[in-house]
Amino acid sequence: MKRFKILCTLLLVSFLIAVFQNTIMSFVEGFHLGYGIASFEIDNGLNSESFTYLDLTPKTDDIALNADNVKNGAPLSLVPSKASVVAFYPEGTHEKTTAELIISIINGLLNFGIVICYFYVLVVFIKIILSFRRSEVFEEINIKRINIIGIGFLVLGAMSTIWQGLSVFMARQAIELADYTISYSNIIDWDDIVMGLVILLMNEILRLATGYKKEQDLTI
Amino acid sequence: MSIIVNLDVMMAKRKMSLNELSEKVDVTPANLSILKTGKAKAIRFSTLEAICEVLDCQPGDILEFEK
């Protein structure tokens, strides 16, 4: 049981660090990105109507970017294999269609849903770990909570995939590049889906173990 | 189909209380109560043996199969 409690503590600490990294650091990075975009617009006299994030895959290997290695000053050629960029629509060049507006609203709702779902899963997870630390392992309530987390991860994966898919679809409707493809290849959020399925599988094992324990408790 | 536990009948026949039996067979009154009320899922041979010895009866006097 001591080892179990140590693992629970480690898991809780790791999870809190991961939350810090994924939410607070992402927020800081997002702030820097937004600041960079605003600075770029001001510096280049751009008055863009909107912008969108794109994941690009080069169509050929001929694309080479020149860069300098700051360590020794030697020139380097960079061939992008994949790139994430921000595309600006200068004023008057892009008018949103009704379909794009609807997709934007759906994406906004999905984003909101992802945040709500994420925090709900987080709260349930903390409840489980605290319960485990009190040695309440084989309890019905914990099985229900773990089930909620597994389903939560599947829902997160599904929402994230739909969000990515709609974003790429929207970008492909508005933009076509000669050298790059706006790719659908990374839209499926396998991390969350696999995590959700693993959690549900582990929960089934815990459910069986709880059944055995109940039977054992009622053996006189 | 179920197994009926007739522990209360045997205890009444022997005029023995639950606490007295629990002390003699070394099983807590709570567990004996679970057994008596038919909530138990299983009974160990050692427990059955101790009960039979104290109540001076056969396992069939305590357990009964009903269709």
For residue B38, what is the domain's CATH number?
1.10.260.40
pLDDT at A157: 92
Positions of chain A with pLDDT under 70: 48-49, 63
CB contacts, 8 Å: A212 with chain B: none
CB contacts, 8 Å: B27 with chain A: 220
Domain residues of chain A, as ranges? 1-46, 95-217
- B48, pLDDT greater than 80: yes
Q: Do the Cβ atoms of A215 and B31 come within 8 Å?
A: no
Q: Please state the rounded mean pLDDT for residues B4-19.
A: 90
Q: Do the Cβ atoms of B35 and A219 come within 8 Å?
A: no
- Search chain A and give the residue with CA nearest B29: A220
Give the Å distances, CA to CA, from A144 to A65, A124, A177, A214.
53, 10, 49, 16
pLDDT at A180: 84
Domain enclosing residue B33, as ranges: 2-66
Give the Å distances, CA to CA, from A61 to A67, A77, A169.
17, 12, 25
Q: Do the Cβ atoms of A219 and B34 come within 8 Å?
A: no
**A218 at interface of B, judged by CB pairs closer than 8 A:** yes
CB contacts, 8 Å: B35 with chain A: 220
Please choose, from the candidates A121, A151, A47, A123, the residue with its C-alpha nearest in 3D space to the C-alpha of residue A89: A47
Residues A196 and A152 sit within 8 Å (Cβ to Cβ):
yes
Who has greater pLDDT, A137 or B59? B59
Q: Do the Cβ atoms of B40 and A219 come within 8 Å?
A: yes
Q: Do the Cβ atoms of A220 and B39 come within 8 Å?
A: no
Q: Do the Cβ atoms of A219 and B27 come within 8 Å?
A: no
Q: Please state the rounded mean pLDDT for residues B33-40.
A: 89
Q: Do the Cβ atoms of A219 and B41 come within 8 Å?
A: yes
Question: Measured on CA atoms in the order B6, B11, B17, B23, is the torsion positive or negative?
Answer: negative
- B17, pLDDT greater than 80: yes
Structural domains in chain B (count): 1
- B1, pLDDT greater than 70: no
Instruction: Among A214, A215, A220, select the one facing B31 at the smallest CB separation.
Output: A220
pLDDT at A148: 94
CB pairs under 8 A between A and B: 23
**A66 at interface of B, judged by CB pairs closer than 8 A:** no
How far off is chain B from A137, nearest CA to CA, in Å? 21
List phi, psi (to 5°) of A81.
-95, -35
How far off is chain A from B44, nearest CA to CA, in Å? 6
